[in-house]
Structure 1
């Protein structure tokens, strides 16, 4: 299948590692002109070097913190300046945030800012130009909604799902699609170091919860993101698509 992405541009957030880096790689292989952003600049440099060595167009690097409004505005401006326009926005920045009943507002507010508010602000910043050109793709990377323990990020991701669905209805007439991908257990830094660092526990979790019998690879989500970003996916919008090996629930 030809995805016809070689004349498109994309800004990928949270691209320093894991899913963001994998999505950037899949888009680069389809000829997309990329700007990548994250808080850490060294991993961005490493990724850009790897992608360009593989034949990608020169990658624009933008260091910044999306939870800071001035950084967010600068990231958007530098992406537009470096790419000429942003056709595709991949909202991949985010992090799990387990909490207890005793935790105060600070942890909840920080999780909401990173996992929802910053995404909404950046999207709304870039949308008018997409609407004016009558072409655009917004792809959000969310997460599991079926938590069995309190997680401030999960609550924020719930808001993300509802906002994205509503937004998709508003901008559909402008040929802009809005979709969300909900990853299950994909082999990323967060999974290895925070959620499942112990091999025996990891194996037990897979046996009990993942019918396909393994954790996924980030690229297995990346190819879906590339498809949804392409012109051939123009009739798909307002969706939440799970990439979870059949897990369909998240007993944390």
Structure 2
């Protein structure tokens, strides 16, 4: 199937590992020219060597650094047609949690992707074509989580923004990942093999964690010409995971 992506220009945040890296690789395989953004330079070096991408070192939670990074990516590629907001981090917290933690995690998981999109959208609208794709999350979680609340805000923003830019040929969508076999899953969320097996048995009907490449395929579709009538929606990629996970 021809996806019409060859020669398009994309910026992918959180591209040093995990889902962001998988999405960047999948887009490159379709002939997309890439700018990859992350805080860590070393993990990007192999991708840059393989695909000739522009590497943008940036802490997206810093508004000034984010603006400079967006401008550098656009300058390196001559413009951005596709934005993939893949950077983020989980943040479990209890009632009465520190306001500074809430502010930090909202800055990373909501304000940064919103700000980046709003900086790049005017040029997309003027060209009459663009894609904004953001990784969000499961909005029916068990327990308080700063990232979950921030990602719910990002889902709501994506729906509203989609209606604002649809007439200009720009789509805005979200992808809600379940448990995908990434660095964060291996090292932070489910480091214990026995606990991992119990979680899968209790919560995931397909009986396994997903591969990042399975989510990346959805992102590539949403970025493509084939998805021109898909906007303002969230696609869940979670193996049928129970909504209120334990």
- Report what 2:63 is aligned to: 69
| Matching of residues 1-252 of structure 1 within 5 Å | 1-49=1-49, 52=50, 56=51, 58-252=52-246
- Answer yes or no: is the 8 Å Cα contact 1:242–1:248 preserved in 2: no
Cα distance, 1:48 vs structure 2: 2.2
Secondary structure of the 1:237 match is: coil
4+ residue runs over 6 A deviation: none
Cα distance, 1:47 vs structure 2: 2.7
Gaps of 5+ in 1: none
Instruction: Tell which deviates more after alignment, 172-181 or 98-107.
Output: 98-107
1:34-75 C-alpha deviation (Å, 9 max, x unpaired) = 0000011111113323xx1xxx3x100000111111111111
Cα distance, 1:4 vs structure 2: 1.2
Cα distance, 1:249 vs structure 2: 1.4
Gaps of 5+ in 2: none
What is the rounded CA distance, in whole Å, between the counterparts of 2:218 and 2:210 in structure 1?
Answer: 13
What is the rounded CA distance, in whole Å, between the counterparts of 1:186 and 1:154 in structure 2?
Answer: 16
Secondary structure of the 1:180 match is: strand
Instruction: Tell which deviates more after alignment, 1-10 or 16-25.
Output: 1-10
- Answer yes or no: is the 8 Å Cα contact 2:47–2:53 preserved in 1: no
What is the rounded CA distance, in whole Å, between the counterparts of 2:135 and 2:199 in structure 1?
Answer: 23
When the two structures are aligned, how many residues end up with a matched partner? 246
Cα distance, 1:27 vs structure 2: 0.1
1:121-179 C-alpha deviation (Å, 9 max, x unpaired) = 10000000000000000000011111111101111111111110000001000000000
- Answer yes or no: is the 8 Å Cα contact 2:19–2:216 preserved in 1: yes
Cα RMSD of the aligned pairs, angstroms, is 0.9
What is the rounded CA distance, in whole Å, between the counterparts of 1:143 and 1:64 in structure 2?
Answer: 23
